[in-house]
Structure 1
Amino acid sequence: MLLENLLESIEKKAVSQVKDLRIKGIKYDSREVVQGDLFVAIKGFQTDGHQYIENALENGAVAVVLEDETYCTDRYPWILVSDSRLSLAQLSAAFFDYPSRKFTLIGVTGTNGKTTTTNLIARILEDAGYKVGLIGTIHNRIGSRILPGERTTPESLDLQKLFREMTEEGVTHVVMEVSSPALDLHRVTGSEFDLAVFTNLTQDHLDYHKSMEDYYQAKAKLFLGLDSPHNVKPGDKYAIVNTDDLWGKRLLKEIKVKTISYGIEQGAFFRADQIKITPIGVSFLVDDRMINLKLTGKFNVYNSLAALAAVHALGIPLEKGIASLEKVTGIPGRFQLVEGSGDITVIVDYAHTPDSLENILATAREFAQRRIITVFGCGGNRDRTKRPLMGKAAARYSDFCIITSDNPRNEEPEAIIEDILSGLKEISFENYRVVVDRRQAITEALNLAEKGDIVIIAGKGHETYQEIKGKKYPFDDKQVAEEILSSLRRRS
């Protein structure tokens, strides 16, 4: 591709020596550069891509996009821009010929519920006969083909490449989780959405966003971009908004495209009534139609309403949406029952925010026969202010807590646990034990449990690793619980 043509997709401050240059690809990691690539130097949180320009050139880069003018030199062709991340997104979309224009793109954002909601929407669309691409926290998927994914929302270059692959395989609809850092860091810039879903906004990512207002503004970008002049896709754009959420109420007032509200409170267009929660599911009424889900919890009422509202905007009848939802038996790591737990109930959940932990524990409390024993920790190198709040949420609904490691990353697990304990101590909750080793913590919880008890293992859900000091070690909460339960059965 002629570089000059590609550069028409971005705003440039200055350009040097690019005339008649052709490129074969784009890279932002100098280690992946091959002969003929355009290298985009990004200033990251830990490393600065500008420091690796020489490596990229040695590996075959023919030109460099950069934002630090001290690296502008006559030794190589360069393009100076204001924001390399923004330019990477715009260049990637153009390089792959704007693939999101070739299918219906649905984005789901919010603190909690993104994974379940995207999976429910995908299931309804697939049952309606469409070929669906799914992008999210658990994995990426093209039809039934599972692809690995390292983060909730891929980097812009990787995302556009994945979109292109999806178009080549005949995908008609893509449903994706859109995280707030992804919106802030331009990972979805250049992606043209047809529909966006807002689930809720509660405390998380404040290590990154610094305030709830900043967090909200990042989320709002997805919705305010629906009618952007850069979104040239024909047809109506829709915003699906949970108006039981205070931030959702505000968002609804600020959106300029068509909207559909959902919730449990009066006034929502898609409203659930006569809700009944049991250990094995939840039933509720929508538009005089009863829904019987095999997913439980009030939070899954919201997730289901969001999915029904989204497909309604796409023209799928309510009856078909309900029929699909009633077939769904579970989402990995989302209030997932552990098999073989006998006369105790063991549940694994990804809950890693104060609100999500409170939601799953409140759900468990509704059908608990005896005690709730909660095993949880908090991630390292993330929002410290939510740790005492997690402790309070656990204490409020649990009879006993075992505080342990989550993904400590580069922090000391004991320091993270101290932050959690400050929340417990603030409300004088004393029914807890600290067990730093997560496997041992799960073992002790299952040993403590008696007939009728519920053991909640929270924080990691579907994850199959534990991240400690920069390394990922194999660890799967569900698998570990199953192994321990099996051992306990043999012993008895």
Structure 2
Amino acid sequence: MQNRKGEDFLKLKDLIENIDVLETNVGDFDKDITDIAYNSKNAKEGSAFVCIKGFKTDGHEYIDEAIQNGARLIVVDEFFDTSKIKGKIDYIKTSNTRKALAVMSANFFAHPSKDFLLIGVTGTNGKTSTTFMIKSILEAHGQKVGLIGTIKNMIGSKEIEAQHTTPESYDLQKLFWQMRNEGVDSVVMEVSSHSLELFRVYASDFDVGVFTNLTQDHLDFHGTMENYFSAKLKLFGMSKKRVINADDSWGKRIIEMYPDCMTYAKDSNATVCARNIKLYVNKNQFDLWYNDKKEEILLNIPGLFSIYNSLAAAACCILLGIELDTIKKGLEELKAVPGRFEIVESNEKFTVVIDYAHTPDGLLNLMRTVNEVADGRKVLLFGCGGDRDRAKRPIMGEIAGRMADFVIVTSDNPRTEDPLKIIADILEGIKKTNVEYVVIPDRYEAIKYAIKNARENDFIVLAGKGHETYQILKDRTIPFDEREVVKNILKELRE
């Protein structure tokens, strides 16, 4: 693997430039380092191994394995007893190995994000759709665009499967390097709160940071909403320019901190706004306003939340100097975002829609959209993920009970938790309402029940899985693409 100037190595002194060195036994800083590993299994001859404390394992426990695999340098954190490795190999002690990994990775790949326009989108909801919209606008502007996010990574039209919303810092810098080598002009990426807190995007050169909204999620990781907000806020300290949702209460706080930012909102005092909004089952119409300029937009993605996402994308691209007619072209050419209010094509007299909504605010916005466009009963099928924020479960249950006519409570990705205990948490909220509901833990059977008992004009909403093509159970991950599930069930019921 070649990096700077086509070389297959980097001098150690260049690799560790700008990292915090607290202690070292390195004698020769001119020696060559061939690669970086944060998993001991990936260490190879001449590489540097950076010890990362994960949620389940600690890289410091695998130093010997990394050495056996050929590591030439070990990077440890300030609390590690270096007497355990003295005499075995060169080491560097640093205050934060996650931060060191990010800086070293950027150094190794010659800071690729400096060679293209980098846009980061953060927020609880809307990140995926907003990045797809920005990509479409930039492509309408004639750019070759890289995309990094929840659904997939892309270089132009070439797809690369995504493992995390935001990759680990080494993998991210390697992906940037690959994108630069393939001639991208700009990269738009989702930036999760985890990635900001864990320094995955540290040492990346952000030209624009975009904020969509902040609502309850990931409190199992962050603990409080203030901590969650503080993590998101880091992106805007790293960005040269900022685009902020002025209708969001947390967004208002960011605007106070960065008064020179670009703002967007619906029908309010912001730089970019939407007026004359018309919502339909499979599209939206609205007037996009920027100062005294207006463009009529026909958006192929329904829902008020989609208008907010398009405003975020438009504001970002206006900030980059793109004209409104190009923004209109880019927004209107985007036909859909996988798993975001995605209507399953069928010849039935009812409608089935798949959506990724998995937070209280996401579910509320989804059902508000359904209420705007549905003629018949609103049937909502959903669950909550295991090993994640428990506090949101009864909240989502209450929202479901208030917003739907009939609720089917089922499993999402239960992971290592008992699905029935997750469902019990959801029912605490549902029981505060008068909605009729049924519990069917097996998601396939739950979807089958919804379709088998559908009435004419029913609007069946499958929430939580969206673009995912799998289900994570306690002991295995199984294929589970809801588009295919729905089609198979319809075929089965017709036979």
SS at match of 2:16: helix
Distance in 1 (alpha carbons) for counterparts of 2:411 and 2:82 = 43
Following superposition, the deviation at residue 449 of structure 1 comes to 1.1
Aligned to 2:166: 153
Match of 1:366 among 362, 372, 375: 372
Q: Please, which moves more after superposition, 386-395 or 173-182?
A: 386-395
Is 1:439 the counterpart of 2:441 in the alignment? no
Is 1:4 the counterpart of 2:13 in the alignment? yes
Following superposition, the deviation at residue 18 of structure 1 comes to 4.5
CA contact 2:272–2:311 (8 Å) conserved in 1: yes
CA contact 1:106–1:176 (8 Å) conserved in 2: yes
Distance in 1 (alpha carbons) for counterparts of 2:475 and 2:161 = 20
Is 1:57 the counterpart of 2:67 in the alignment? yes
Following superposition, the deviation at residue 485 of structure 1 comes to 1.7
Aligned to 2:301: 295
Q: Kindly tell me: are residues 71 and 478 of structure 1, through their superposed partners in 2, closer, same or farther at Cα, counting changes over 3 Å?
A: farther
Following superposition, the deviation at residue 341 of structure 1 comes to 4.9
Is 1:315 the counterpart of 2:326 in the alignment? no
Following superposition, the deviation at residue 143 of structure 1 comes to 0.8
Distance in 2 (alpha carbons) for counterparts of 1:313 and 1:439 = 45
Aligned to 2:3: none
Aligned to 2:256: 253
1:308-350 deviations in Å (ceiling 9; x for gaps): 1111111110111012211221110000000115210100000
Residue type matched to 2:482 in 1?
Answer: D
List runs of 5+ in structure 2 lacking aligned partners. Answer: 1-9
Is 1:33 the counterpart of 2:36 in the alignment? no
Is 1:417 the counterpart of 2:426 in the alignment? no
CA contact 1:18–1:78 (8 Å) conserved in 2: no
Residue type matched to 1:250 in 2?
Answer: R
Distance in 2 (alpha carbons) for counterparts of 1:296 and 1:403 = 25
Aligned to 2:287: 285
Number of residue equivalences: 478
Residue type matched to 2:241 in 1?
Answer: Y
Aligned to 1:462: 467
Distance in 2 (alpha carbons) for counterparts of 1:31 and 1:8 = 25
Distance in 2 (alpha carbons) for counterparts of 1:244 and 1:29 = 42
Following superposition, the deviation at residue 470 of structure 1 comes to 4.8
Aligned to 2:241: 238
Is 1:184 the counterpart of 2:197 in the alignment? yes
Distance in 2 (alpha carbons) for counterparts of 1:84 and 1:380 = 29
CA contact 1:9–1:94 (8 Å) conserved in 2: no
Residue type matched to 1:409 in 2?
Answer: R
Aligned to 2:22: 13
Following superposition, the deviation at residue 21 of structure 1 comes to 2.9
CA contact 1:373–1:399 (8 Å) conserved in 2: yes
- Give 1:135-154 correspondences, 5 Å limit: 135-154=148-167
SS at match of 2:32: coil
Identity across the alignment (%): 48
Q: Kindly tell me: are residues 18 and 144 of structure 1, through their superposed partners in 2, closer, same or farther at Cα, counting changes over 3 Å?
A: farther
Following superposition, the deviation at residue 487 of structure 1 comes to 2.2
Is 1:349 the counterpart of 2:359 in the alignment? no
Distance in 1 (alpha carbons) for counterparts of 2:320 and 2:268 = 24
Distance in 1 (alpha carbons) for counterparts of 2:80 and 2:193 = 29
Distance in 2 (alpha carbons) for counterparts of 1:32 and 1:141 = 24
- Structure 1 residue runs of 4+, over 6 Å off? none
Aligned to 1:405: 411
Match of 1:471 among 459, 470, 476: 476
Residue type matched to 1:255 in 2?
Answer: Y
List runs of 5+ in structure 1 lacking aligned partners. Answer: 227-236
Following superposition, the deviation at residue 5 of structure 1 comes to 2.5
SS at match of 1:9: coil
Aligned to 1:218: 231
Is 1:393 the counterpart of 2:399 in the alignment? yes
1:420-471 deviations in Å (ceiling 9; x for gaps): 001111x233411110100000000111211100000010100011011252
Distance in 2 (alpha carbons) for counterparts of 1:95 and 1:9 = 12
Match of 2:52 among 35, 39, 42: 42
Tell me the TM-score normalised to structure 1 length. Answer: 0.95
CA contact 2:136–2:333 (8 Å) conserved in 1: no
Following superposition, the deviation at residue 206 of structure 1 comes to 0.4
Distance in 1 (alpha carbons) for counterparts of 2:435 and 2:186 = 50
Residue type matched to 2:15 in 1?
Answer: L
Is 1:193 the counterpart of 2:206 in the alignment? yes
Match of 2:270 among 254, 268, 271: 268
SS at match of 2:471: strand
1:96-144 deviations in Å (ceiling 9; x for gaps): 0000000000000000000000000001111111000000000000111
Distance in 2 (alpha carbons) for counterparts of 1:99 and 1:6 = 14
Aligned to 2:81: 70
CA contact 1:341–1:485 (8 Å) conserved in 2: no
Distance in 1 (alpha carbons) for counterparts of 2:319 and 2:433 = 49
Following superposition, the deviation at residue 481 of structure 1 comes to 1.0
Distance in 1 (alpha carbons) for counterparts of 2:106 and 2:394 = 42
Aligned to 1:84: 97
Aligned to 1:234: none
Distance in 1 (alpha carbons) for counterparts of 2:99 and 2:281 = 47
Match of 1:325 among 318, 328, 331: 331
